[in-house]
Amino acid sequence: MEKEQNLNKMAFKDYYDTLSDDAKETVRNRILGESGMSYTTFYYKLRNNTFKPLERKLIDNIINDVNPKVLC
């Protein structure tokens, strides 16, 4: 059951790769600013998909907040 729920979620890296360069910068800067994470740590965690649950929750909130602005 839990495995099925995980398959329905898009990996953050896949979503991030679909964004334009400007949108990537906006999302990345918000994540870095709100989490206190360093630039290199962000890309390490993105590459290896090793975000902790609270970081993932923050990322989800940022995506939901930024997404309408990205689509405009």
d(CA 19, CA 33): 19
**pLDDT at res. 69:** 53
Q: Is the pLDDT of residue 4 over 70?
A: no
Q: What token pair was written down for 7?
A: 């398959």
Contact partners, residue 66, CB within 8 Å, separation at least 6? 23, 26, 27, 30
For 34-64, write each residue's pLDDT tens digit.
999 999 999 999 999 999 999 999 999 999 8
Q: Is the pLDDT of residue 68 over 70?
A: no
User: What's the average model confidence in pLDDT over 13-33?
Assistant: 94
pTM of the model: 0.77
Write the CA distances from 38 to 7, 18, 63, 72, integer angstroms. 29, 22, 19, 29
Q: Is the pLDDT of residue 70 over 50?
A: no
